[in-house]
Structure 1
């Protein structure tokens, strides 16, 4: 992080001076930023789009020395722990943030933040892009592989989708922290085209979060364990894998493995394999000029009619339409 920006974050502002002396919360948000002003004392207030005005993104340091009361908002929020640590209460759960961690809060997510210490620096990043949500990130992750879809369905109830995600920092995802630092620098040291650069960084950040976020299966049974192994094999070896080869590999009867897979994964082995192949096919369709016939062969399929039928069922479009849209998007960005 830029030393000047870090120094400014560590410097006490007027609200922090008050909170430091009184050890109690002092509101720095005008009533015009609250959708239901009367709720400030009665219940969790809803913060509206006041912060954005003519901007797509709003960034500020979280004030230290006093707990921030329970609240919610009409926009997506990131709590980025730039330095030190913090504790939050998020939708009834206790969340601990260490340095480098990022907490993503969806629209309507209730959360409160415990008092930060003198050396704790949390940066709040707010943005109002209605196309970005927890559900969108789930869909992005799901489109990585059929394995992710299975894990997500185990950890997220469809009727009660979690309204937050915790991205914990480790040595493998320093790229996420680097991108966040770039966003903060562009915001607090604006130059020509900073707003456009920040918006592009946000797109990169979303993709990096998906790439670096691991979904872990907990308390799995023996049958789920074998299905996870098969799903990983489908993800890694989709071109030439088969149910027969998997049954032989894990020393199971083919019919038994087929039944267990369908019960636990909610789909047949063949369906999961086709979905994984189509994920890679679409990636090649939209990012290369490879002929569709070559793509079909590259993903391990041979029946062209079957490929086009399943592609349309999975993506509600044709390979030709997706390629044309991708080329159009690339052209518009150049212009």
Structure 2
């Protein structure tokens, strides 16, 4: 099957699926093939929850799919690949009508180290590097390949799926060799990581929506976890992308809420402090004065005057 037509063929399998199961099996070219079983994520409703029985590869062949792995959210985009350890828990949110997520579930006896068997000649540095990769995979329970549909890793995975579908002489050997090449390519290009940064797209609008929903009780750690990043990296990313720190974004949202509440005569300043997420009066007054250059009492008096509210 021509590689350029692979996505169309996979889409046709999903479209033809009659069952409401969460995944659709892709039949191999030879029923005796035993290296892995290939599935496509179905487009039915709900969150699909899984636990891997063996090494598992998630590959976004088209579109983007939101997944949660080890309580971290990721967005798999075109060409992204994630390797999951045996007995890993993961969730997949409903893919879009054009999205194609492929899953390769390997025999439980297969390990990432098997992909290195073809690398018979290695220097000491290469041996240490592969050992480090394997140790990281065992500890973190996932490895991501940062790439696109045009990257070599995506091209190799397409060849693997194509081999699975057609089944020719030495197919199993060819697939193992291509998996080895996939890892070698990833290491050479330095796009193999235990925290696939490219698997989640960060946008300021997403941050604003999250803060808007959680500003009364929000922490940097919780926000970083929600977006699938290390807290320190997330803090730097927010500053880099928006020009303001995470705390500044939260304070800004709280100040806007405080101003809105100050216009209501039925809510005391003490209650407003609690509602916007601050624990003390002095800290709230300090932040408020820095932001608006006046005290809450002064602003409330002006807001009442503008609205012709007289409490005397």
Scaled to the shorter chain, the TM-score interval is 0.3 to 0.5
Q: Rg: which structure is higher?
A: 2
Name the structure, 1 or 2, with higher relative contact order (CA <8 Å, separation 6+): 2
